[in-house]
Structure 1
Amino acid sequence: MISAVPPAAPPVKIPIRVKPGSARARVGGSYGDKGALVVAVTERAVDGRATAAALRAVAAALGVRRSAVSLHSGATSRDKVLLVEDPPADLVTRLDMLRG
């Protein structure tokens, strides 16, 4: 008997605004007219450390594996776009709660 594997949900792009060098790490709030998710990290923007910390923080805040979150664009910018592979069904609700 062949079992059908449900198709994976398409990847979702999430715009974020990274605030490196913050006193404490947190994910929440909205930035700009596009509603980018604000991600504050304690790491400085040196050698990609702030970006790596932002990826970890977003994965934890959304309740997904770190490997499911990758950088789509903005490697050297505070404004980045992340890609979430196989997102949970309630991702939009989770993002709305984080954005406030």
Structure 2
Amino acid sequence: MVTTAREQRIQRNGFYHDRVPEFTITVRAKPGASRPRIGGAHGEPPELIVAVRETAASGRANAAIETAIATEFGIPPSMVDIRAGHAGRQKTVALYVPDGAAAQATLDRLLASGDD
């Protein structure tokens, strides 16, 4: 059986793709920010704002965004996967979380925490 790189990462972290629910969020990326932060909403429906110091060159900002989201949601970075918008500011991000209700509560808190 051939597995994808994402499935291999999930298996290495003790989670299995078929047992862990996928939680999808929309993110508004701000690469090259002077101050890294995560929180606040942009647009309607609301997109979670994630500002990182890394520039968009060579995917460094995407990796930093995945790490920042993982830290806030309390999961390993390998459990965060940018599904769409790799080259744009608007991104669709999948999180593999054991508790969807807790993830929704975290997202709601982060969306409400911004000053934008």
TM-score over 0.5 for the pair: yes
**Identical-pair percentage:** 37
Question: What CA deviation, in whole Å up to 9, does each residue of 1:15-55 have, x standing for no partner?
Answer: 00000111121110001102110000001111111111101
Equivalent residue letter for 1:76: A
Contact 1:68 1:86 (8 Å CA) reproduced: yes
Displacement, 1:64?
Answer: 1.1
Q: Distance in 2 between matches of 1:76 and 1:93?
A: 28
Q: Distance in 1 between matches of 2:98 and 2:57?
A: 29
Q: How does 1:1-100 map to 2 (within 5 A)?
A: 8-88=19-99, 89-100=101-112
Q: Which has the higher helix share?
A: 2
CA RMSD of aligned residues (A): 1.3
Q: Distance in 2 between matches of 1:45 and 1:87?
A: 30
Q: Please give the secondary structure, in 1, of the residue aligned with 2:83.
A: strand
Gaps spanning 5+ residues in structure 1: where? 1-6
Q: Distance in 1 between matches of 2:90 and 2:62?
A: 10
Displacement, 1:86?
Answer: 3.0
Matching residue of 1:3: none
